[in-house]
Amino acid sequence: MLLKFAPTNILKNLEENKKNCLVVVGKEPVQICAVKDDINKSCQNNSIDKIKIKVENSIDLNQLDHTFNNQSLFSSQIIYEFEVSDGVIKKEIKEYILKKIDENVEDIFIFYFKKDFKEYKKQNWFELLKNLSLVIVSEEPDIEKISQAINDRTHFHQVKLTNEAKELLINYSMGNLMQAENDIKKLKLIYDNQEVDESMLLSLITNGSKYDGFNFIEYCINGDMNKTNEAAQYLKEEGVQPLMINGLFAWFFKAVSRIKLSSNQSINSNVLMKLRIFGASQNLASQTIRSLTAKQVVACLNKIQEIDQIGKGIKMGDPWLEINRFSMGIAKMMNRGINLKNG
């Protein structure tokens, strides 16, 4: 059975599917962390012993055999966690592990493969394990799963979010689960058992700043040149990294370009959600798509790429100066469009 998303209560899922083997394949860190957290919680709640084994080319069969044959007589169940290296694994090691899965039906075998799922498809040992296992593909989840992922992580860390705060967290993290995970951990430390609303979350992610990256984009798209310039100067003085702000512009304009440059320019909430645009940002995206030409959107993407290269030292220049010029240019274009409509 193949899952595209890590479930909660994994041991129960294995039992219900009559499996004693779990394969986790991929490298999305938060999903891997979620699996390990869930397993550790089950071990603590049920007094289950857990043994970690690194499977690599240098592993010795006698050493592996010693690990299996020297466990406590008082353990009713053992979980074996195998970290599988990217290198070549000896045939005798593979055969031994398959044999133990078959013999030790009361124990649980968990395998972590670090590469993408497609890279293992033609490997015979992986295919044999896959057929014996519940398989979790640890990759960046589809946009429909982002909300579920954040729900699962807030539940695990016992953090309560209002619906508005959850929407803001999704928006701010741009679908990046690691960013969301870090913010959830901070919320736990600061607010513990309090329900976190939008203003509390905004205070955390902006460090109480007067402006943040989302304000900045909002002022640009609304054509407010004074506020755009003020926000740019403020963020620079506050020491905000220019590449972080440029990354928000990249996220926003990539989504805009996907619709603007497509043959079907239908704009609706579902389409925007699939492009990782949520909440109030959807109105801004719709406004941008209607106001800018395809040529202008492409020019914005090119400028964003140039700023990225400047920020990384690939090109000469001052990234904040270029962000200021770029944002003022957008505000001017949008302001012109708004005035034309009102006229």
Q: Mean pLDDT score of the chain, rounded to an integer?
A: 82
| Confidence at residue 89, expressed as pLDDT on a 0 to 100 scale | 85
- Pick from 276, 22, 297, 37: nearest CA to 135: 22
Percent of the chain residues past pLDDT 90, beyond the cut: 19
User: Does one domain contain both 200 and 231?
Assistant: no
For residues 173 and 103, membership in a common domain is answered with no
Alpha carbon distance 2, 314 (integer Å): 42
Helix axis angle, 319-342 to 213-221, nearest 10°: 40
Least confident range from 45-54, 77-86, 169-178, 237-246: namely: 169-178
Residues 106 and 26 occupy one common structural domain: yes
Is residue 81 classed as helix, strand or coil in its secondary structure?
A: strand
- For residue 232, what are the domain limits? 213-342
The pLDDT of residue 343? 42
pLDDT at residue 342, rounded to an integer: 44
Domain count, the chain: 3
CATH classification at residue 84: 3.40.50.300
| 301 and 321 fall within a common domain | yes
333 and 219, same domain (yes or no): yes
Q: What's the CA gap between 27 and 30, in Å, rounded?
A: 9
* Residue 174 pLDDT class (50, 70, 90 cuts): low
Higher pLDDT, 113 or 7: 113
pLDDT tens per residue across span 263-277: 666 676 676 766 667
Are residue 217 and residue 273 in the same domain, yes or no? yes
Q: Are residues 28 and 65 in the same domain?
A: yes
